[in-house]
Amino acid sequence: MAAPPCWHILGFGAIGRLWACHLARAGVSVSPVLHSAERLRTYPGHVTLCTDAGEAHFTLPGELATANTPIQQLLVATKSYATEAALAGVAQRLAPKAPIVLLHNGLGPQQRVADAFAEHPVYAGTTTEGAYRDGGERLVHAGRGSSFFGPLNARARETGEAALEPLLTLPLEAHYDPAILHRLWQKLAINAAINGLTAVHDCANGELARHPEYREAMAQLCQETEELACRLGQPLFETPLFDQALKVAEATARNYSSMLQDVRGGRPTEIDAINGYLCREAERQGLALPAHQRLLEAVRARHPNHHGD
Ligand code: KPL
């Protein structure tokens, strides 16, 4: 039997590595596409996955975007602001009808990629898996979560979930959801209530629930998000968004949000694809979102070299 085609992984941070290790463990060949010749030179070609069950080592030979092998299947796990440029760098290598799977926070890039790559089935995913890099090539899978993947364009709806095999059958809890936009909006609404505030106040997620002033700011953000979602006819949760956001802040009380980690690490943040996305959508509707706008500006001020989404 022919070996299953390779999955190329663009964006080799914690989440890209987590999926790469699990694909490799399932016997699928995986090729991380690294962002520079310097990175390829220092990358040892393997990753160690650390879980409660111990450590496992995976050989994952890296390559550059300029390599010339065709890409049959592509998982893009970059930060939201890097997705489109990273994809452009490998576009000429995509085999006809190669599925593209986008896995990042926020909204904006997904729709643009789905339109720009209309000949390819384009899917989006959202995950609550918790993983971080622990120096060098070690990856710690710290918190088990769940993931959803679903179609973004007509070609993906026609193709269905078959193209996502084996992403859906790994020992990570992953499901196919044809209404993926709803899931992406739910994650966006939660991230918009938590991430920016923790980045500005330099605090763990749980502080937002405990500190009255932060809690009030979170309530305002949630109320504005709900107003916009209602205007767009976009369902969110069955219970108020603020209750959901509080629940997540409490359940992840000791965690530092991905945005705070970016600010502390001096990296660009995903604010433009989260609160920025909501502000742009609101503007199209003639709606003002003052709390989101203020937060957007405050986070941008903390990282002046922010990227647009
Ligand atoms: O998704 C998250 C993030 O940090 O990006 C939350 C849910 C806020 C957990 O920290």
Predicted structure pTM score: 0.94
**Contact assessment for residue 117 and residue 100, using Cβ atoms and an 8 Å cutoff:** yes
CATH, residue 108: 3.40.50.720
Q: How far is the CA of 303 from the centre of ligand 1 (A)?
A: 19
Among 138, 153, 177, give the residue marking a domain's end: 177
* pLDDT one-digit tens code per residue, 199-218: 999 999 999 999 999 999 99
Residue 242: which domain range? 182-302
Do 15 and 164 sit in the same domain of this protein?
A: yes
Residue 231 dihedral angles phi and psi, to the nearest 5°? -60, -35
Do 40 and 188 sit in the same domain of this protein?
A: no
Among 124, 142, 177, give the residue marking a domain's end: 177
- Return the pLDDT at 142: 85
Catalytic residue list contains 187: yes
Do 104 and 232 sit in the same domain of this protein?
A: no
Stretch 169-186: mean pLDDT: 96
- For 48, other C-beta atoms within 10 Å of its C-beta total 16
**Res. 133: pLDDT tops 90:** no
Do 160 and 258 sit in the same domain of this protein?
A: no
Do 141 and 223 sit in the same domain of this protein?
A: no
**If pLDDT is split at 50, 70 and 90, which confidence band does 309 have?**
very low
Do 107 and 240 sit in the same domain of this protein?
A: no
- For 272, other C-beta atoms within 10 Å of its C-beta total 23
* pLDDT one-digit tens code per residue, 64-85: 999 999 999 999 999 999 999 9
Judged by phi (left if over 0) then psi (alpha if -120 to 50, else beta), residue 264 lies in alpha
Q: How far is the CA of 231 from the centre of ligand 1 (A)?
A: 25
**Domain count for the chain:** 2
Q: Which of 79, 97, 187, 247 is catalytic?
A: 187
Measured CA distances, 286 to 80, 279, 309 (Å): 25, 10, 21
Picking from 50, 49, 51, 47, the residue whose alpha carbon sits closest to that of residue 34 is 47
